[in-house]
Amino acid sequence: MSDFSLPSADRTSFFDEQKRRRRAVWVLSGICLLIASGIGIVLSSLVTPMLLLTGGGLLHLLARFGVFPATMRQAAHSLGEWAAGYGRLFQNVLESLDHVHRLTDLGLITTPLLRLAPVSVPALVAACLVWIVLLRISQRGEGGELIVRLSGRPPNPNDREERQLENIIAEMAIAAGLPAPAVFMIDSPEINAAAVDGAQGQASVMVTRGLLDQLDRDETSGIVAHLVASIGAGDIRLTHAILAVFQTFGFFVTFLDLPFRWSAWRALGGLVLVAAGLRETPATVVETLDLLESGLAAETLPDVETLWSVIPYRRVRKVLLVPLLPLLLISIVLRVVLFLWTALFLGPPLAMIWRNRRYAADAMAVQLTRNPDGLAGALSRIGGSAIPDGGSGREYCFVHGPPVSAKRGIAARHTMTGSLHPTLPRRLKRLQALGARTGRGERRRMPRLDVIAKHPGRTLFVGLLLVPMVPLVGTLVLLVGYLTAIAMTLGLGAGLAVTIGLLD
């Protein structure tokens, strides 16, 4: 009678599980916020001069057209003075750097550095504004576009299975005390389902036909409960917020790329049109945001020739391009630094947040159905199923993703993490802790730390294995830090010099 065996030792309640996951997400979000603002400060070294130049240029232009010429010139001049003040502070930092000979001398440059720090404020404020605008834009598009791309259709009320699905979704919405989401069917043999935001901000649920054909009512209820729980917890808004961070980085990199890359013009032009509400279909919104995001990974060098071929004479082209070469160099270095930061530091905690949210939605699904076996049975049957055709790049919307995600999406492009979804055995194990009896348990490939810790000999062995890792990781962090310092110094130095020269 193994079915009625005593609950295992790590048995927990769905309320405790949810509380635990929520706490983990709070901690991880704090870490991510810190790292993201760190990246923001790195970016600010080039973005602040850029903003000052753009602002000053606009003011001079207004003065030229006779809009309060005196005031405008005065404002542009004070912008230049502000930049000049920080230029002097930057000089101070460089000079005090000359006195640093040992590691202990690093204390000497902290005071000048702290005094220089406010130079990043304009860029950080601008980044926040851009983030808000991009967030509002993305809320108008993405889900609807995915429904179209997967050719989702409304369920047929005369088909018994699809009618049952509608009933299940209504039941789960009642259990969660939420308005019922819209339902779309995807005609695909894969077993999968997704939660997205549809038109007018109404949440939608997409379910493949394969899921209906292969799962029974309890199992489908478990999957639907997971999706409804995910909608109720605000996961869709969270994905928009996270993606908007990457798009904000992409926006500034794209802006720097304007002189070198044709697609940068297209991306920013599209963004202006979409933001002004002129091209507002979900497809164009998504296309624009994707272009911005791909700015992070775009290769600039091959594009320089194509863009500059607009200018007829080769020699003229070269003469015009030479002064821009430092900018090209800085933007390439900056892009490498940005990639390293997102891949090494921002990506892993972000993926951990997402995995914790999946576990939390699983626990919430158990709370809604009071039937852990339903979801556990469904997950163990989903097994090798993939994302339906056309869903790649939006894996995070689905209940279950393939172990290694496809080419696009936040997982693959910006991070070194394998997947945004926890592996099925791990999820089943958590469900078993919540009382599920079905499903295969965890197949361990990783050694268990608590077992190793009990055995001093093994601990020593593993410790010895880990020793070479320390200098390796240390070197990596040091290299990234060094590269970051170079990029910031180059960007700030050159940027401030140009700004002061033109405005002051």
> Least Å distance between CB 226 and another protein?
15
Rank residues 163 and 318 by Cβ distance to another protein and give the closer one: 163
Q: Could you tell me the CA-to-CA distances from 375 to 188, 384, 397, 424, 458 in Å, in that order?
A: 21, 16, 17, 11, 38
| Residues 499/52, Cβ–Cβ less than 8 Å | yes
> Least Å distance between CB 175 and another protein?
4
d(CA 422, CA 352): 9
List residues bridging with 186 in a β-sheet. Answer: 208
Give φ, ψ of 431 to 5 degrees. Answer: -65, -35
33: Cβ contacts below 8 Å, ≥ 6 apart: none
> Least Å distance between CB 214 and another protein?
19
Rank residues 23 and 217 by Cβ distance to another protein and give the closer one: 217
435: left (phi over 0), alpha (psi -120 to 50) or beta: left
> Least Å distance between CB 368 and another protein?
8
> Least Å distance between CB 15 and another protein?
10
> Least Å distance between CB 171 and another protein?
5
> Least Å distance between CB 177 and another protein?
5
d(CA 305, CA 307): 6
Rank residues 14 and 354 by Cβ distance to another protein and give the closer one: 14
> Least Å distance between CB 331 and another protein?
48
What DSSP string describes 356-394? Answer: HHHHHHHHHHHHHHS-HHHHHHHHHHHTT--PPTT-TT-
For residue 160, the surrounding DSSP H or E stretch is helix 160-176
Half-sphere exposure of 162 (CA within 13 A, CB side): 17
The contact set with another protein (CB under 8 A) reads 160, 163-164, 167-168, 170-172, 174-177, 368, 370
Rank residues 173 and 410 by Cβ distance to another protein and give the closer one: 173
| Residues 258/50, Cβ–Cβ less than 8 Å | no
For residue 185, the surrounding DSSP H or E stretch is strand 182-186
Rank residues 139 and 164 by Cβ distance to another protein and give the closer one: 164
Q: Could you tell me the CA-to-CA distances from 169 to 42, 280, 367, 377, 399 in Å, in that order?
A: 46, 30, 15, 18, 15
| Residues 403/419, Cβ–Cβ less than 8 Å | yes
Other CB atoms within 10 Å distance of the CB of residue 310: 8
Rank residues 230 and 385 by Cβ distance to another protein and give the closer one: 230
Give φ, ψ of 377 to 5 degrees. Answer: -60, -45
Rank residues 52 and 231 by Cβ distance to another protein and give the closer one: 231
Rank residues 368 and 410 by Cβ distance to another protein and give the closer one: 368
Rank residues 161 and 303 by Cβ distance to another protein and give the closer one: 161
> Least Å distance between CB 166 and another protein?
9
Rank residues 237 and 370 by Cβ distance to another protein and give the closer one: 370
Structure tokens at 498: 């140009």
> Least Å distance between CB 225 and another protein?
10
